């Protein structure tokens, strides 16, 4: 089973909500298990025949010695689902610190918090919630590096409200509730944001679909964040079409809606308030990249390029903020800089991990007063644990001054060094013939 398979299996019984809707959302059941939400990276820990492997959401293995060593001490074969977490002074940090910790696990207090068991002794686990929880507590010893998420058992929904309030008072991110009906609820505080409207889309039938929203990063600079049309009545949608149509502007940037219609870009003059359940700055160990645009009153929107940003989840339009302008002060990143800044620091840390040259060869050939060069470089990235790099990269550079495109380059990526070296030799054999000299 992969992490993606696991996510698909549990997604049908997973519900995200906020505290104000707990009474309506959480269905009456015989009992509930409630725990604080650990903000880490989802992973699967497989223990078999005294060996252990930890897989991330991207399908790649995570080499975290303290977790793997602890797992290999377990007697039974099992497949566990949990969160890869980072702790400081005994308290769990946010998922934004996990990427840096995975890169250099020896420098962090990194642990695996178990919340589910998928199989035991080669058999898939299909037990009632209470029995499964009892099995987890029996199998997972109390230890620092692998531990079962502490669960509180309740029989009344009213007790869940108190548990949530206490968790938020203790500055926890939220809570996770599992009911006897095998439903899973993630409860977090509502996040309120003021964002600029930079575009809108219509459905194929011409009715209003949603807004394209952004936050302001500098004067006349906007970074896209997401789209939503939830929360608007049909009458409001018609009113917004009439209001936005005359505001249309040119744009170098084009985005297509899920209805396969292009967003119509508009002057950045309107600010709306949205409520959402969560903000994400990465996916599968990769930074969430969002387009940044520069607005010119004469030329419209100009592309600045993609930069690390944020996406919102389950956004609902609350109201227009007529008292606010599309400026850094009114709808800028100050609203969530505590989330954005750690990501930028993490990106900087990633850049500082140096690659190694495994193999390098260069050849030249002179003809008609010009010199042609062909260079082959095999790199070991040392960044594969971050999830967005391959272990090995092979670059083939071909320079010929007399060609229409003098410089050409090919890049190949590999999981194994042996395969990469074989491709290296094949490229040299194919591209270095008679007349070429090694430099």
Query: Would you state the pLDDT for residue 426?
Result: 94
Taking residue 384's Cβ as centre, other Cβ atoms within 10 Å add up to 16
H or E segment to which residue 1 belongs: none
- Asked whether 98 and 84 are in contact (CB, 8 A), the reply is yes
Q: What are phi and psi of 314, to 5 degrees?
A: 55, 55
Query: Would you state the pLDDT for residue 278?
Result: 80
Query: Would you state the pLDDT for residue 349?
Result: 47
User: Which of 82, 69, 144 has the alpha carbon at shortest distance from 114?
Assistant: 82
Is the CA virtual torsion 393, 399, 403, 407 positive or negative? positive
DSSP letters, 161-227, are HHHHHHHHHTT-S-EEEEETTS-EEEEE--EEEEEEEEEEEE-TTS-EEEEEEEEEEETTEEEEEEE
- Adjacent-strand bridge partners of 48: 51
- Asked whether 253 and 207 are in contact (CB, 8 A), the reply is no
Domain extents in the chain: 3-188, 191-350, 356-438
Domain spanning 3-188, CATH architecture: 2-Layer Sandwich (3.30)
Mean pLDDT for the chain overall:
87
Query: Would you state the pLDDT for residue 347?
Result: 46
Please write the tens of the pLDDT for every residue from 410-427.
888 888 899 999 999 999
* Half-sphere CA count of 25, side-chain side, radius 13 A: 20
Please write the tens of the pLDDT for every residue from 223-259.
999 999 999 999 999 999 999 999 999 999 989 898 8
Q: How far is CA 67 from CA 44, 92, 226, 403, in A?
A: 12, 16, 36, 54
Residue with tokens 């007697």: 75
DSSP letters, 277-340, are SEEESEETTEE-EEEEEEEETTTEEEEEEEEE--EEES-EEEEE-TT--SSHHHHBGGGTHHHH
Give me the tens of pLDDT residue by residue for the chain, a chain 439 residues long: 777 788 777 766 778 788 888 888 899 999 999 999 988 888 999 999 889 999 987 788 899 999 999 999 898 999 999 999 999 888 888 776 787 788 888 889 999 999 999 999 989 998 999 999 999 999 997 767 999 999 999 999 889 999 999 998 888 888 999 999 989 998 988 888 999 999 999 998 999 999 999 999 999 999 999 999 999 999 999 999 999 999 999 999 989 898 889 999 999 999 999 988 888 876 655 667 899 999 999 999 999 988 888 888 889 999 999 989 999 989 998 887 655 544 444 444 444 567 889 999 999 998 877 888 999 999 998 876 554 567 899 999 988 877 776 778 788 888 889 999 999 999 999 999 988 999 8
Record: fold of 191-350: OB fold (Dihydrolipoamide Acetyltransferase, E2P) (2.40.50)
Query: Would you state the pLDDT for residue 189?
Result: 84
Q: Is 251 left (phi over 0), alpha (psi -120 to 50) or beta?
A: beta
């Amino acid at each position: 089973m992969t992490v993606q398979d696991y996510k698909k299996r549990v997604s049908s019984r997973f519900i995200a909500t906020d505290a104000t809707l707990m009474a309506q959302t959480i269905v009456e059941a015989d009992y509930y298990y409630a725990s604080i939400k650990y903000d880490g990276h989802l992973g699967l820990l497989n223990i078999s025949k005294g060996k252990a492997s930890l897989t991330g959401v991207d399908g790649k293995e995570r080499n975290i010695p303290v977790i793997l060593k602890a797992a290999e001490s377990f007697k039974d074969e099992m497949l566990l689902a949990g969160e890869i977490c980072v702790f400081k002074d005994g308290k769990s940090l946010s998922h934004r610190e996990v990427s840096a910790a995975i890169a250099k696990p020896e420098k962090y207090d990194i642990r695996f918090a178990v919340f589910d068991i998928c199989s035991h002794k080669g058999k898939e686990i299909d037990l009632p919630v209470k029995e499964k929880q009892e099995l987890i507590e029996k199998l997972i010893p109390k230890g620092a590096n692998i531990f079962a998420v502490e669960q509180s058992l309740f029989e009344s929904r009213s007790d869940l409200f108190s548990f949530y309030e206490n968790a938020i008072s203790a500055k926890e991110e939220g809570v996770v509730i599992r009911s006897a009906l095998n439903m899973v609820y993630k409860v977090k505080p509502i996040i309120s944001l003021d964002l600029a409207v930079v575009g809108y889309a219509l459905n194929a039938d011409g009715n209003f679909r949603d807004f394209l929203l952004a936050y302001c990063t500098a004067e006349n600079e906007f970074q896209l964040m997401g789209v939503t049309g939830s929360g608007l009545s049909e009458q409001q949608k018609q009113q917004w079409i009439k209001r936005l149509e005359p505001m249309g502007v040119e744009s170098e940037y084009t985005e297509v809606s899920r209805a396969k219609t292009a967003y119509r870009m508009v002057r950045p003059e309107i600010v709306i308030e949205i409520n959402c359940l969560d903000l994400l700055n990465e996916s599968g160990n990769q930074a969430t990249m969002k387009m940044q645009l520069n607005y010119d009153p004469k030329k419209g929107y100009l592309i600045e390029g993609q930069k690390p940003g944020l996406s919102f989840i389950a956004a609902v339009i609350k109201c227009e903020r007529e008292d606010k302008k599309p400026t850094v002060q009114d709808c800028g990143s100050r609203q969530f800089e505590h989330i954005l800044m750690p990501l930028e620091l993490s990106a900087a840390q990633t850049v500082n991990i140096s690659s190694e040259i495994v193999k390098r060869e260069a050849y030249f050939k002179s003809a008609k007063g010009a010199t042609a060069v062909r260079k082959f470089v095999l790199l070991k990235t040392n960044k594969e644990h971050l999830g967005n790099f391959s272990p090995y990269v092979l670059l083939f550079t071909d320079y010929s001054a007399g060609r229409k495109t003098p410089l050409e380059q090919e890049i190949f990526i590999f999981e194994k060094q042996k395969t990469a070296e074989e491709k290296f030799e094949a490229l040299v054999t194919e591209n270095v013939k008679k007349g070429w000299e090694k430099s």
